[in-house]
């Protein structure tokens, strides 16, 4: 079976963008591929964060994976920091990563420009190396990537090739190495439709995100019915009379119709037929009901999972053990190939 890895940062409440852009797709993937889904807590500390919240967000995120349908009998579910190899590989890879490659990362440029050099931790710069470690440790064949991570995956691929070239092949064989390349070069897996869910308050220039200051800009998977109704009622719309996809002057309209399409599983054509003559008021009611219908069973399963702490802990422990057994092989091979004295 081909292998896939993916994860979400425990930086806040999981929202519709995380669900439609990532977690929901995992449910299909876990049937076809060998999958590892982790909570990338080490990534959640690259910007200032609340130490009181980190472990809670990590558990919540794990519980939501399961509540959304990730099946721990098929997928390995674990917490990144529970598998030491991630950080270890990162150091080894750092020695091979040119600073220029990292300086070019758009996300770093944007985030560091806002905060200023004196306020930004080195980890914000080196975070793509940790992400490369997350992927390469498991010899992943595919990585589902949204628009935001494309450049980082490209860096991962280049790093894999660089390490294979510098330390792999005949040199590694001479050091006693066995097997193929040190790293498999992973391919991107572009999610089917609606890859980007936009903010409820700005459908043109902002994506829905955990770290956006306003909670009104997103629907969280754990939002109450009232909160969902309220957010949809107040979300940004326009003054056109009917509803349509793909009109560049109507980004909010396109976003809300896309959300409706994804959450109901209808085709685009079906949504057009159903909604084109609706006014905003009618559509908002229809969308609210659809969201509540879809999220309610997830919230019920979430509550069940959280009511039994050992259940989740056991799944995470099992996941970490399985992940470590794969990761350690990759890491030990690299130590050997880089010429370290073996234990
Ligand atoms: P943060 O604001 O802390 O970066 P985030 O909401 O962007 O949080 P991430 O943890 O960075 O979430 O991303 C987790 C996964 O969710 C990734 O696969 C990412 O592509 C996907 N994702 C995040 N936001 C959206 C969105 N608005 N639409 C679709 N997919 C999204
Ligand atoms: Mg993000």
Give yes or no for residue 194 having a pLDDT over 60: no
Closest to 20 measured CA to CA, from 190, 196, 150, 143: 196
pLDDT at res. 115: 80
pLDDT at res. 114: 83
Average pLDDT, rounded, for the chain: 95
Distance 144 CA to ligand 2 centre (A): 14
Q: Is the CB of 24 under 6 A from ligand 1?
A: no
Considering the domain 215-304 in this protein, what is its CATH number?
1.10.240.10
Classify residue 330 by its DSSP letter: H
Answer for the pair 183, 163: CB distance below 8 angstroms, yes or no: yes
Q: What confidence tier does 66 reach under pLDDT thresholds 50, 70, 90? A: very high
pLDDT at res. 343: 79
- Which among 124, 148, 197 is the best mutation to test ligand 1's pocket, defined by most ligand atoms within 8 Å of the CB? 148
DSSP secondary structure letters along 220-286: BTT--HHHHHHHHHHS---S-SS--SS-TT-HHHHHHHHHHHHHHT--HHHHHHHHTT--HHHHHHH
Average pLDDT of the residues in 306-322 = 96
Distance 191 CA to ligand 1 centre (A): 13
The continuous run of DSSP H or E covering 193 comes out as: none
Q: Is the CB of 196 under 6 A from ligand 1?
A: yes
Give yes or no for residue 117 having a pLDDT over 90: no
Q: Which one of the ligands is nearest to 7 CA?
A: 1
What token pair was written down for 57? 């967000």
d(CA 111, CA 45): 14
Q: Is the CB of 10 under 6 A from ligand 1?
A: no
Q: Is 210 among the catalytic positions?
A: yes
Residue-wise pLDDT for 202-246, tens only, equals 999 999 999 999 999 999 999 999 999 999 999 999 999 899 999
Q: Is the CB of 156 under 6 A from ligand 1?
A: no
pLDDT at res. 116: 81
Looking from the CA of residue 194, the nearest atom of ligand 1 is 29
Global confidence as pTM? 0.95
Q: Is the CB of 210 under 6 A from ligand 1?
A: yes
Q: Which one of the ligands is nearest to 13 CA?
A: 1
Q: Is the CB of 111 under 6 A from ligand 1?
A: no
Residue-wise pLDDT for 25-62, tens only, equals 999 999 999 999 999 999 999 988 999 999 999 999 99
DSSP secondary structure letters along 127-146: HHHHHHHHHHTTT-SEEE--
Could you state, in order of their start, the residue ranges of all structural domains in the chain? 3-195+308-337, 215-304
What's the CATH fold of domain 3-195+308-337?
Rossmann fold (3.40.50)
Q: What confidence tier does 160 reach under pLDDT thresholds 50, 70, 90? A: very high
d(CA 208, CA 37): 21
Residues of the chain with pLDDT > 70, as a percent, come to: 99
Distances (CA, A) of 257 to 239, 254, 263, 275: 16, 5, 10, 8
Complex-level ipTM:
0.98
Q: Is the CB of 8 under 6 A from ligand 1?
A: yes
Residue-wise pLDDT for 70-96, tens only, equals 999 999 999 999 999 999 999 999 999
Distance 241 CA to ligand 2 centre (A): 34
pLDDT at res. 165: 96
Catalytic residue among 2, 74, 171, 206: 206
Q: Is 268 among the catalytic positions?
A: no
d(CA 6, CA 39): 9
Q: What confidence tier does 107 reach under pLDDT thresholds 50, 70, 90? A: confident
Beta strand 76-79 with 142-144 is unpaired
pLDDT at res. 33: 97
Q: Is 266 among the catalytic positions?
A: no
- Which residue do the tokens 């919230």 mark? 299
Distance 169 CA to ligand 1 centre (A): 37
Distance 1 CA to ligand 1 centre (A): 27
């Amino acid at each position: 079976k081909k292998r896939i890895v993916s994860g979400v940062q425990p930086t806040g409440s999981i929202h519709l963008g995380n669900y439609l852009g990532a977690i929901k797709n995992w449910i299909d993937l876990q049937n076809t591929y060998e999958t590892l889904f982790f909570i990338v807590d080490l990534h959640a500390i690259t910007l200032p964060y609340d130490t009181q919240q980190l472990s809670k967000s990590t558990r919540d995120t794990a519980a939501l994976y399961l509540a959304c349908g990730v099946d721990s009998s098929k997928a390995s579910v674990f917490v990144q920091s529970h598998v030491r190899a991630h950080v270890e590989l990162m150091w080894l890879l750092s020695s091979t990563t040119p600073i220029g490659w990292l300086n070019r990362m758009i996300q770093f440029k944007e985030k560091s420009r806002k905060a200023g050099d004196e306020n930004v931790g080195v980890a914000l710069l080196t975070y793509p190396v940790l992400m490369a470690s997350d992927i390469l440790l498991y010899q992943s064949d595919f990585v589902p990537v949204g628009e935001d991570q494309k450049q980082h995956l490209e860096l991962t691929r280049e790093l894999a090739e660089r390490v294979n070239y510098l330390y792999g092949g005949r040199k590694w064989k001479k050091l006693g190495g066995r097997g193929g390349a040190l790293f498999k070069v992973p391919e991107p897996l572009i999610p089917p439709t609606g890859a980007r869910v936009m903010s409820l308050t700005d459908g043109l220039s902002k994506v829905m995100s955990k770290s956006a200051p306003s909670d009104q800009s997103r629907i969280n998977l754990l939002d109450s019915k009232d909160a969902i109704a309220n957010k949809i009622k107040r979300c940004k719309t326009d003054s056109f009379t009917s509803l349509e996809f793909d009109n560049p002057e109507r980004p909010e309209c396109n976003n809300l119709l896309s959300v409706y399409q994804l959450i109901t599983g209808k085709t685009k054509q079906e949504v057009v037929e159903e909604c084109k003559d609706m006014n905003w008021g009618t559509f908002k009611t229809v969308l609210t009901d659809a969201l509540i219908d879809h999220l309610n069973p997830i919230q019920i399963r979430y509550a069940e999972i959280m009511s039994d702490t050992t259940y989740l802990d056991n799944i995470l422990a099992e996941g970490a053990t399985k992940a470590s057994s794969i990761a350690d092989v990759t890491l030990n091979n690299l130590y050997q190939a880089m010429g370290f004295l073996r234990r």
